Amino acid sequence: MLATQTITISRVKESRLREVDFANIPFGKIYSDHMFIADYRGGEWRNFRIIPYGYIPVSPATPALHYGQAIFEGMKAYRGPEGEALVFRPHDNWMRMNISGERMCMPHIPEELFMESLSTLIDLDRAWIPSTPGASLYIRPFMFSADEYIGIKASSDFTFMIILCPVGAYYSTPVKVRIETHYTRAIEGGTGYVKAGGNYGGAIYPAKLAQDKGYHQLIWTDGKTHEYIEESGTMNVAFIINDTLVTPALTDTILAGITRDSVLKLARSWGWKVEERKISVRELIDGLEKGTVTEAFGMGTAATIAPIELIGYGEKDYILPPVSERKYGNRILEELDGIKRGLKQDPFNWVVRM
């Protein structure tokens, strides 16, 4: 067990908390008072510290900057009825971070290091967990190669950090998405199934092209044929087709989303019909034309359940039924939100109190 006293803590002189307008929190622009840092040197994690949030010295030769050797996670904490931090499925994020680390040739993060650094940091910045409806504390653990070497090799030095960010809604309205049939997010044998920074960096340009046409994001299709649906924006995607919840089956080009998994577990526990399988663009468009596709939504930590209002394909936009009529997506959102906030029963023991 990693003893908490091995994490040295230097506190801020003065908290920035009172500068924050919790009634109007944007996504991803405000950071809490402190951050956690650990160094990987000589084959072991060391120098665990919590320091005031701020810029960090990084070698200009670090492979993270040149070759994108960087991975991250995203999770959320909510303020519980007694002021406690309710963290949603942190062990799953820990496990996924290590899957990402393995693919990107980065060291394993022990469970105790991940969980204790997280709980110590959250305890220190507990006051930063918003209690406003729709808001939460977004937790961003990340790791990057910290070698001072611009040749390409497996690095030996790494930095693991956690920063905290009170956030409001990621999308303030139902989303408009366009099916992408030229650019590719991930290809078989690549890094699509892990949270590697480069997956997101490479997606910005195609998404920007769609945003310039009035869409919020893309629906990604497979890199070989562009005939099958994979993800939407930075989220997994699901559809209600003939009263069945259908989502693309996981492959090495699709991220195993923790929100996706939560949705599937809840839906199955309610006896809903659930299918994890290939969904062709043709099937989706036919279903939109015939009206058998009645709902579409993204599933992700940042955006939770993001209803899709409109799907663009080629020159045509297909509008889905109004969000107020969507019994499946709305039920999932309400239940998940209630579980995360400690207001509903947590049948799968997802919430960890810190």
Check residue 301 for interaction with ligand COI (CB under 6 A): yes
Least Cβ distance, residue 183 to ligand COI (angstroms): 17
Query: Should residue 217 be labelled a site residue for ligand COI when binding is judged by CB under 6 A?
Result: no
The stretch among 97-105, 221-229, 299-307, 333-341 that binds ligand COI (CB under 6 A) is: 299-307
Name the residue with tokens 């998404």. 207
Q: Of the listed pieces 96-104, 212-220, 300-308, 329-337, which binds ligand COI according to CB under 6 A?
A: 300-308
Question: CB of residue 254 vs ligand COI: minimum separation in angstroms?
Answer: 13
In the complex, least distance from residue 290 CB atom to ligand COI, rounded to whole angstroms: 32
Of 89, 155, 20, the residue nearest 351 (C-alpha) = 89
Helix (H) or strand (E) holding 297, with range, is: strand 293-300
| 36: three-class secondary structure by DSSP | strand
Please say whether the beta carbons of 119 and 354 come within 8 A.
yes
Can residue 307 be called a binding residue for ligand COI (CB under 6 A)?
Answer: no
State which of residues 53, 149, 171, 200 lies at the interface with ligand COI (CB under 6 A): 200
Smaller CB separation from ligand COI, 187 or 204: 204
HSE-CB of 185 using CA atoms within 13 angstroms: 32
Minimum CB distance to ligand COI smaller for 135 or for 281: 135
From 15-23, 104-112, 171-179, 296-304, give the range in contact with ligand COI by CB under 6 A: 296-304
Q: Which residue bears the tokens 């200009």?
A: 60
The token pair that represents 96 in the structure block:
């996924």
- Rg of the chain taking only CA atoms, in angstroms: 21
Position 313: which residue type? Y
Among 32, 64, 68, 74, binds ligand COI (CB under 6 A): 74
* CA atoms 103, 107, 108, 113: torsion sign: negative
Of 39 and 337, nearer to ligand COI (C-beta) is 337
Tokens for 192, please give them. Answer: 């699509």
CB atoms within 10 A of CB 241: 21
Amino acid at position 271, single letter: G
Q: Which of residues 159-178 bind ligand COI (CB under 6 A)?
A: none
In the complex, minimum distance from the CB of residue 76 to ligand COI, in angstroms, rounded to a whole number: 8
Among 69, 159, 199, 234, binds ligand COI (CB under 6 A): 234
Residue with tokens 């000589």: 42
What's the rounded Cα separation, in Å, for the pair 117 and 309?
A: 39
- Residue 257 Cβ, how far from ligand COI at the closest point, in Å? 8
Report the residue number, 71 or 146, with the smaller CB distance to ligand COI. Answer: 71
Size of interface with ligand COI, in residues (CB under 6 A): 6
For residue 226, what are the CA distances in angstroms to 42, 83, 214, 280, 297?
44, 47, 22, 9, 20
- In the list 77, 115, 302, 339, the residue contacting ligand COI (rule: CB under 6 A) is 302
Question: Tell me, what DSSP letter sits at residue 302?
Answer: T
Residue ranges in contact with ligand COI by CB under 6 A? 74, 200, 234, 300-302
